[in-house]
Every structure is written in structure tokens, then in C-alpha cells.
Amino acid sequence: MKKKIFAVSDIHGHYQELIKALDEAGFDENNKDHLLISIGDAFDRGSCSLSVYEYLKRLEDKGSAIVLRGNHTTFFEDYLTGKRYTPFNYLNNGTDETLADFLGRTRPFESWWFIDKGKEEDPTLLDFADFMKEARDEINENYPELLNWLRSRPYYYETKNYIFTHGAIDTTVEDWHYPHCEIFDYLNWEALVWDNGSFFGKEINNTDKTVVIGHFGTAHLREMYEIDDNKDKYDILTREDGKVIAIDATTVVSKKVNVLVIEGEELLN
């Protein structure tokens, strides 16, 4: 079966920018020959993470989309399970925007503290922890399908000629399907979503397919590898040998979503 593929990445809660880009690219969710592939990081930083989630899940449910895992998927999953969470993501990685949208309130912690709790004194870290638990319980109650959806996100999607994944494949193993690596305290596929841009320059001998990635912005890659290709720095970036295509437009800054369109690609299942 062949499909016209529309690949996007790192939407980060920018719903309107996503819809505008897909419309301009010609994506039609009702066209059975069209397939949207989102390669991770739907949440955080933008103000419309809930709309992005509902849109992607609806398309996936009708067979029009594949939605992959990114590191921000893990952030949200770990938070909703209570497995791992620190104030850092709330303060620095845009999780405050995600919670604001899912909770339906502006500046969720501040409004909880000063309005719901009626406090006037400065909050402590223990107060913040109480808020995060209450917020977690409220989101899990209001969106009971969300956690299982996050847990089920695959790390890659493979077609006849392409591998779509958030950060990288492991170039050091014979079979890229089974990575063996560690980044921070993450292992294997979970580690690969944290690639620091080095994958774009690595020699790839364990597949002949083109790897399509997000996670590390194309503007940063152009600077990192001193690439001057006479394009906007946020545009899609293809390696000279064609083995890697990077599509993350750093949407929170550029206010655009790149759409990689691949005509007539053979699916494997």
C-alpha cells in the first residue's frame, strides 16, 4: 500500500501553526491516500497542547495519523504516573503551558495558590508539590484515556524507504531496531530521543533508509555544522548524502511547523 506522507515534528502545543502548515501542504484527513506522521513532542511550550492532543488522537483513531514518542511525551507520562517530576520542567520546559491548557486555567500554580487556597504568603516547594499532585489527579480524572495513550506511543515508524523517529537511531549496532546506548539515565530507545545533534553528522552503515528526525532544531543544526544552503534557517534540512532529514522548526521561536511531504511511499503494514 502506498501513501502520501506528511511528516511533522515538535509541535509543542502550537495547534494553529500546525493546522496552517498542513493546509498549505495539502494534507486532507479524509483522503485515504494521505498519512500524517508526527514524530514526537506534541506538548509543552505552546498554549494549545490539549487541541494538538485531541487532533492527533482523533486522526490516529480514524487511521489517518501515526503519532510517535518524544522526550516531552515521557515528561508528561512520568508526571501523570507520579514516577518522576521536578519543578525544572514546569519552570523551564513549558510544562506550565501544558497544565494550564489541560486544567483550563491561566498561570495554574499561582491561581491555585492565591485564589483557590486564598494564600498571601510566598509558597514553598512543598506547596508546589501539593499543587502538582492535585493537578495530576484532576487531569487523570478528566482525561482517563490520556495516560494509556502516552504509554502506547512508539519510538519509530518504518516504511520501505524511511525511518521516522524523534531523535536518532543507534548507528553502533548491527540492527538499528535494537539499540544499545545510554544518555543521562535513559537507556536504548528512550535515550535516543535525547540526541544532542550529533546524529546528523554520524556515519550510518546499518540501514540504507533515510532517517527523518525532529528534536534538535534545524537552525541549531545549520549553526552546529556550519551549513549555508541559502534557505531560511528554520526550514527542513537534508544532509548532503540524503541519509538524514531534520524537520524541527523550533516552532516556539519561528512560529512555523515544517511539513515534509513524501509522495507515493510504500508502507510495510
Domains and CATH numbers, the chain: 2-70+155-266 (3.60.21.10), 83-146 (no CATH)
**Which residue has cell 513532542?**
41
What predicted TM-score, i.e. pTM, was given to this entire model?
0.96
Note the pLDDT of residue 159. 98
Helix (H) / strand (E) element for 109: namely helix 108-111
**Which residue has cell 500554580?**
109
C-alpha dist (Å) from residue 209 to 168, 169, 179, 188, 236: 13, 11, 16, 20, 18
Angle between helices 95-103 and 125-142 (to 10 degrees): 50
Note the pLDDT of residue 269. 75
Note the pLDDT of residue 98. 95
Please check whether residue 34 is in contact with residue 6, taking contact to mean a CB–CB distance below 8 angstroms. yes
Burial bucket for residue 150 (CB in 10 Å: 0-12, 13-18, 19+): buried
* For the chain, counts of helices (H) and of strands (E): 11, 11
Helix (H) / strand (E) element for 2: namely strand 2-8
How far is C-alpha 56 from the chain's CA centre? 12
Provide the residue-wise pLDDT of the chain in tens; the chain has 269 residues: 999 999 999 999 999 999 999 999 999 999 999 999 999 999 999 999 999 999 999 999 999 999 999 999 999 999 999 886 667 888 888 999 999 999 999 999 999 999 999 998 999 989 999 999 999 999 999 999 999 999 999 999 999 999 999 999 999 999 999 999 998 889 999 999 999 999 999 999 999 999 999 999 999 999 999 999 999 999 999 999 999 999 999 999 999 999 999 999 999 97
Angle between helices 95-103 and 49-61 (to 10 degrees): 70
Helix (H, G, I), strand (E, B) or coil at 177: coil
Please check whether residue 2 is in contact with residue 264, taking contact to mean a CB–CB distance below 8 angstroms. yes
Q: Where are the alpha helices (DSSP H) in 119-161?
A: 125-142, 146-151
Please check whether residue 261 is in contact with residue 4, taking contact to mean a CB–CB distance below 8 angstroms. yes
Q: Could you tell me which residues are beta bridge partners of residue 7?
A: 37, 260
Q: Closest Cα partner for 163 from 180, 145, 181, 175?
A: 175
Helix (H, G, I), strand (E, B) or coil at 182: strand
Please check whether residue 156 is in contact with residue 184, taking contact to mean a CB–CB distance below 8 angstroms. no
